[in-house]
């Protein structure tokens, strides 16, 4: 296989009634486990490089890592920039081989968000790749509060930006470890009624498996971003590996012990989003 664009994996999901996981990566160990799990389940996967990942590893290196995994995978793999905040950052990701750019202008006034997202969409489409935008602000557990997506603003945003996917704020939160109160399905239906763009849920770790599956199979939500849930699994596995043998110091040996737990946890969450 080779790198797929976001549109190439989300349009079939929208048509056939399932969702694709956008998995937040932090390093080689988790991204490799994610692709292995996607192959085991026979589903596409979106590897996402967010701000904390990019602060640790340069975009150019991440592009090579994603590209290597995609080219050797038996399923479609999307190399996705998550929460790009500037035109230059998005251009750098494009040049590094990313196949999807998520521009986050959700903190900005509507007209500015539309104008700047449209410029990124134009950049992406000219290069033959995809663009995701965000309308309504998705907050952070224990941090910034959310601003829910207004359906009419969502329709305007989708129409005027030309994005291939639209992240919405419907009760979801980044970095949420518990399941919370669930997503606002009434607001989701109102947004669906005025646009046909594939919808994205950031902060998917805070959504129950039952609601994920219900929406994956019966709504326009085609992408769930999952990060915290899998980072907890990785952290627990790493802690166990370190404590297993205090004399072990080789980090390659230690990190190998994280693969199986992350692989199995990823398989379980991917299975929930698959079509019937």
| CA-CA-CA-CA torsion sign (193, 166, 146, 236) | positive
What is the CA 157 to chain-centroid distance, rounded?
Answer: 20
Give the H or E element holding residue 251: helix 251-256
Choose among 20, 241, 227: nearest CA to 132.
20
- What is the domain extent for residue 77? 3-273
pLDDT number for residue 240: 95
Measured distance CA(259)–CA(265) in Å, rounded: 10
pLDDT number for residue 171: 79
pLDDT number for residue 144: 67
pLDDT number for residue 209: 92
pTM: 0.95
Q: CA 51, 86, 71, 224: dihedral to nearest 10 degrees?
A: 60
pLDDT number for residue 179: 64
pLDDT number for residue 253: 92
**Residue indicated by tokens 């080779």:** 2
Tokens at 196, concatenated = 């046909």
pLDDT number for residue 3: 87
pLDDT number for residue 1: 65
Encode pLDDT of 114-156 as tens digits: 999 999 999 999 999 999 999 998 877 667 666 789 999 999 9
* Burial category of 253 from C-beta neighbours within 10 Å (exposed 0-12, middle 13-18, buried 19 and up): exposed
Please state the three-class secondary structure of 15-64 as a single string: HHCCCEEEEEECCHHHHHHHHHHHHHHCCCEEEEECHHHHHHCCHHHHHH
pLDDT number for residue 137: 81
Q: Which residues does the chain have with pLDDT short of 50?
A: none
Backbone angles phi, psi at 131, to 5 degrees: -135, 135
Measured distance CA(169)–CA(203) in Å, rounded: 10
Q: What is the CATH number of the domain that holds 214?
A: 3.20.20.70
Beta-carbon count within 10 A of 109 CB: 9
Is 104 annotated as catalytic?
no
What are the residues facing 134 on neighbouring strands? Answer: 167
Beta-carbon count within 10 A of 268 CB: 11
Count the domains in the chain. 1
What is the CA 1 to chain-centroid distance, rounded?
Answer: 20
DSSP string, 58-77: -HHHHHHHHHHHHHT-SS-E
pLDDT number for residue 175: 67
User: Contact, 79 vs 67, CB < 8 A?
Assistant: yes
Q: For 153, how many CA atoms within 13 A lie in the half-sphere containing its CB?
A: 20
pLDDT number for residue 37: 98
Active-site residue identified among 82, 104, 150, 164: 82
What are the residues facing 20 on neighbouring strands? Answer: 223
């Amino acid at each position: 296989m080779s790198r797929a664009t976001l549109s190439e994996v989300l349009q079939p999901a929208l048509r056939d009634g399932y969702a694709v996981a956008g998995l937040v990566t932090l390093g080689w160990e988790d991204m490799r486990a994610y692709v292995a799990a996607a192959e085991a389940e026979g589903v596409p996967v979106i590897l996402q490089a967010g701000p904390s990942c990019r602060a640790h590893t340069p975009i150019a290196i991440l592009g090579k890592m994603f590209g290597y995994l995609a080219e050797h995978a038996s399923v479609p793999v999307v190399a996705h920039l998550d929460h790009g905040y500037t035109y230059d950052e998005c251009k750098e990701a494009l040049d590094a081989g990313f196949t999807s750019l998520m521009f986050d202008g959700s903190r900005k006034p509507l007209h500015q968000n539309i104008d700047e997202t449209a410029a990124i969409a134009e950049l992406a489409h000219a290069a033959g790749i995809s663009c995701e935008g965000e309308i309504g602000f998705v907050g952070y557990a224990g941090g910034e509060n959310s601003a829910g997506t207004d359906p009419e603003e969502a329709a305007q945003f989708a129409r005027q930006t030309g994005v291939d996917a639209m992240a919405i704020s419907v009760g979801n939160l980044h970095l949420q470890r518990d399941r919370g109160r669930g997503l606002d399905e009434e607001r989701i239906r109102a947004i669906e009624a005025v646009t046909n763009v594939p919808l994205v849920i950031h902060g998917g770790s805070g959504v129950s498996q039952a609601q994920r599956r219900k929406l994956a199979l019966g709504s326009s939500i085609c992408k769930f971003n999952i990060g915290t849930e899998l980072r907890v699994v990785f952290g627990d596995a790493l802690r166990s590996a370190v404590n297993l043998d205090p004399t072990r110091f080789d980090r390659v040996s230690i990190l190998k012990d994280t693969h199986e737990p992350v692989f199995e946890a990823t398989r379980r969450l991917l299975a929930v989003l698959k079509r019937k």
